[in-house]
């Protein structure tokens, strides 16, 4: 799986906090910085410092935070280019700086939540928040079969490479990638058929149930 | 395309969240009505597939940026718009909460742009085009490629509208941003259209019955039209008071050239998108004017379409034949 998750440390102190508290804190931080005006950017930065302390409690490495934060740089580059085109003024500079701080704090909050909330906790919290059962079942299917599908994708890619995909031109590589996704789709549809039959054999009647 | 927190204002996120929640509720209701127990694992698997597909970014013709599959039209073509909308929504929820990809507060905006517009809008476009150009492989491919491309542009245009509604005090004109967004996503749209068309062609060549089966879940145009009108009215009523006060492109050029003063006395009614109301009620006036304008455009469009659409040819009764 190419998902860039920092290695979980045993000294992750936030791991044992209630899931509602973790979700609530992350949302509160994002909401507070969203409501601040551009002139109040130091307050947003203070929330960012609190989140960095949260990351320290969770045992996240600074390198990983910097690496993940670089993902949203494209948005800032786009906005910066748009502002450069529009003849920037001092007010525009302040607006862009506060925008940068706000986004950085929101990214820190999202990354902190990613480090401290597990998939199982998410499912339990969604059920507790009375999210429709069908949606929770779909989320659990996604989480369960994502890894399986990715392993399937790796197998298909290895098979294509053994048949000479390594020396293919870029056009052929595009074609091979489409074939891989198409094959993955067919296999996942077959798998969903098998799961459906297994669910029917265990008494599935279309209504969601959880292991209480 | 995943909008991160901090970019849009909490008010816009809240409105988009309500619209998205309503869209998810409606999709769940439609899926439950189908009484097909297979739909749940199928939607879960399609969600997992789109999730995996979104992890693979493709380069943009030598530019230092990349794009990725949105998957709205692909999901709608495979499992129908209701299940497709739910699949993409589930993907976005998991990405935002567990993988920090896309914001938590802007989750509703992301669902609106990618799931609702991608699956409902893109799906409706796909079906309409298929009926127009034919339901064979060639017609379906043309329809899905055009719908996938336009769905990316529609999502980008929606983001621009949401950004303008969020930053009404933004200290610079937003036209350059709009141009950048449209140009950038015009390139991403090519990748989206190529992937969606390629996958559909592959499925058609290997398992055509899958696509034939998905035709049974084609929705009626009436609920789609009603949903579209409802969304348009909500946008007109709630977002229009926050519209940017900066001049648009034509007005900016008019200011510079000096033709803005011409024809000002020819406004019949609703001058500057406002109704005549007492002072202090300007926001309500703009909302009411927005809703009124939307409904007038709908009525005129309806009237025009009913005039130009030929009435159905009566089918002769088989019992009287021969």
Give the residue-averaged pLDDT of A2-10. 50
User: In this structure, how many other beta carbons lie within 10 angstroms of the beta carbon of residue A147?
Assistant: 13
Question: Which of the pair, B299 or B158, is modelled with greater confidence?
Answer: B158
Give the residue-averaged pLDDT of B36-48. 79
Average pLDDT, chain B: 74
- Interchain proximity A33–B6, CB inside 8 Å: yes
Percent with pLDDT over 70 in chain B: 58
B228: distance to nearest CA of chain A, Å? 23
Nearby residues of B7 by Cβ (< 8 Å), 6 or more positions away: A75, A99, A103, B103, B106, B163, B166
Dist. CA A209–CA B87, nearest whole Å:
19
Strand boundaries in A30-119, DSSP class E: none
Which residue of chain B has the CA closest to A101?
A: B6
Dist. CA A122–CA A142, nearest whole Å:
13
Query: A19 vs A2, A25, B285, CA distance in Å?
Result: 26, 10, 44
Query: B1 vs B151, B156, B185, B267, CA distance in Å?
Result: 12, 8, 9, 39
Residue whose tokens read 């209630």 = A18
Give the residue-averaged pLDDT of B231-237. 61
Dist. CA B161–CA B175, nearest whole Å:
11
Write down the ipTM of this complex.
0.76
From B72-76, B168-172, B265-269, the region with the lowest mean pLDDT: B265-269
Identify the pLDDT of residue A178.
79
Residue whose tokens read 């996938």 = B148
Q: With 0-12 CB in 10 A as exposed, 13-18 as middle and 19+ as buried, what is B315?
A: exposed
Statement: residue B312 has pLDDT above 50? no
Statement: residue A41 has pLDDT above 90? no
How far from the centroid of its chain's Cα atoms is residue A45's Cα?
Answer: 23
Which residue of chain A has the CA closest to B178?
A: A82
Dist. CA A192–CA A14, nearest whole Å:
36
- Interchain proximity A134–B40, CB inside 8 Å: yes
Instruction: Among A71, A153, A192, select the one facing B45 at the smallest CB separation.
Output: A192
Size of interface A-B (CB pairs under 8 A): 216
Question: A59, A12 in Cβ contact below 8 A?
Answer: yes
Tallying the residues shown for chain B, one arrives at 322
Identify the pLDDT of residue B26.
92
Dist. CA B127–CA B147, nearest whole Å:
9
Which residue of chain B has the CA closest to A110?
A: B100
Residue whose tokens read 């748009």 = A82
Identify the pLDDT of residue A131.
87
Statement: residue B115 has pLDDT above 70? yes
Statement: residue B68 has pLDDT above 80? no
pTM higher than 0.95, yes or no? no
- Interchain proximity A34–B43, CB inside 8 Å: no
Report for A181-185, B211-215, B298-302: range of highest mean pLDDT: A181-185
> What's the Rg (C-alpha) of chain B?
22
From A81-90, A107-116, A124-133, B129-138, the region with the lowest mean pLDDT: A81-90
- Interchain proximity A178–B198, CB inside 8 Å: yes
User: Among residues A102, A52, A46, which one has the least CA distance to residue A75?
Assistant: A102
Tallying the residues shown for chain A, one arrives at 212
Residues of B in contact with A41 (CB under 8 A): none
From A43-47, A114-118, B64-68, B111-115, the region with the lowest mean pLDDT: B64-68
**A110-129 per-position pLDDT tens digit:** 888 888 888 888 888 888 88
Nearby residues of B112 by Cβ (< 8 Å), 6 or more positions away: B16, B19, B20, B23, B158
Question: Which of the pair, A81 or B110, is modelled with greater confidence?
Answer: B110
Question: A120, B100 in Cβ contact below 8 A?
Answer: no
Instruction: Among A79, A103, A177, select the one facing B4 at the smallest CB separation.
Output: A103
Tell me phi and psi for residue A8, to 5 degrees: -70, 130
Dist. CA B238–CA B232, nearest whole Å:
10
Q: Is B207 helix (H, G, I), strand (E, B) or coil?
A: coil
Give the residue-averaged pLDDT of B217-234. 58
**B7-22 per-position pLDDT tens digit:** 888 889 999 999 999 9
Give the residue-averaged pLDDT of B214-218. 51
Give the residue-averaged pLDDT of A52-76. 81
User: Among residues B119, B183, B182, B181, which one has the least CA distance to residue B151?
Assistant: B119
Average pLDDT, chain A: 79
- Interchain proximity B203–A153, CB inside 8 Å: no
- Interchain proximity A138–B44, CB inside 8 Å: yes
């Amino acid at each position: 799986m190419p998902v860039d998750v920092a290695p979980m440390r045993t000294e992750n102190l936030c791991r044992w906090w209630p899931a509602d508290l973790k979700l609530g804190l992350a949302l509160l931080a994002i909401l507070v910085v969203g409501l601040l005006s551009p002139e109040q950017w130091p307050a947003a930065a203070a929330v960012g410092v609190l989140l960095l302390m949260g990351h320290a409690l969770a045992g996240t490495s600074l390198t990983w935070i910097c690496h993940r934060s670089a993902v949203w740089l494209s948005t800032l580059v786009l906005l910066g280019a748009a502002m450069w085109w529009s003849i920037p003024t001092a007010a525009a500079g302040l607006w862009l700086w506060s925008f940068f701080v706000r986004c950085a704090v929101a990214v820190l909050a999202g990354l902190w939540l990613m480090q401290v909330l597990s998939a199982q906790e998410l499912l339990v919290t969604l059920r507790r928040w009375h999210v429709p059962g069908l949606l929770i079942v779909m989320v659990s299917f996604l989480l369960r079969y994502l890894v399986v599908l990715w392993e399937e994708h790796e197998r298909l890619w290895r098979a294509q490479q053994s048949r000479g995909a390594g020396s293919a031109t870029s056009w052929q590589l595009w074609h091979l990638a489409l074939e891989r996704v198409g094959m993955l789709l067919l296999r996942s549809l077959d798998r969903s058929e098998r799961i459906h039959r297994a669910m029917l054999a265990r008494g599935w009647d279309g209504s969601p149930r959880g292991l209480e | 395309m995943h909008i991160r927190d901090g970019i849009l204002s909490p008010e816009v996120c809240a409105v988009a969240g309500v619209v998205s929640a309503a869209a998810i509720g409606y999709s769940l209701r439609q899926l439950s009505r189908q009484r097909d127990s297979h739909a749940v694992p199928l939607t879960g698997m399609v969600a997992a597939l789109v999730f995996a597909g979104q992890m693979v970014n493709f380069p943009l013709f030598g530019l230092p940026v990349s794009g990725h599959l949105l998957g709205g039209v692909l999901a709608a073509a495979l499992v129908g718009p209701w299940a497709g909308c739910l699949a993409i929504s589930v993907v976005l929820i998991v990405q935002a909460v567990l993988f920090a990809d896309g914001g938590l507060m802007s989750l509703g905006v992301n669902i609106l742009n990618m799931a609702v517009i991608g699956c409902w809008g893109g799906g409706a476009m796909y079906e309409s085009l298929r009926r127009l150009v034919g339901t064979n492989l060639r017609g379906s491919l043309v329809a899905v490629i055009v719908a996938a491309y336009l769905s990316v542009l529609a999502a980008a245009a929606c983001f621009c509208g949401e950004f303008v509604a969020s930053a009404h005090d933004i200290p610079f004109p937003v036209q350059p941003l709009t141009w950048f967004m449209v140009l950038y996503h015009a390139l991403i749209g090519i990748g989206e259209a190529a992937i969606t068309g390629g996958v559909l062609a592959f499925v058609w060549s290997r398992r055509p019955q899958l696509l034939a089966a998905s035709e049974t879940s084609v929705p009626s145009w009436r609920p789609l039209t009603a949903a579209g009108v409802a969304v348009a009215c909500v946008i007109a009523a709630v977002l229009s008071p926050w519209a940017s006060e900066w001049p648009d492109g034509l007005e900016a050029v008019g200011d510079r050239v000096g033709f803005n003063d011409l024809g000002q006395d020819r406004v019949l009614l609703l001058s500057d998108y406002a109704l005549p109301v007492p002072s202090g009620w300007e926001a309500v006036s703009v909302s009411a004017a927005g809703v009124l304008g939307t409904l007038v455009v709908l009525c005129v469009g309806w009237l025009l379409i009913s005039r130009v659409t030929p009435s159905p040819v009566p089918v002769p009764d088989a019992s009287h034949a021969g």
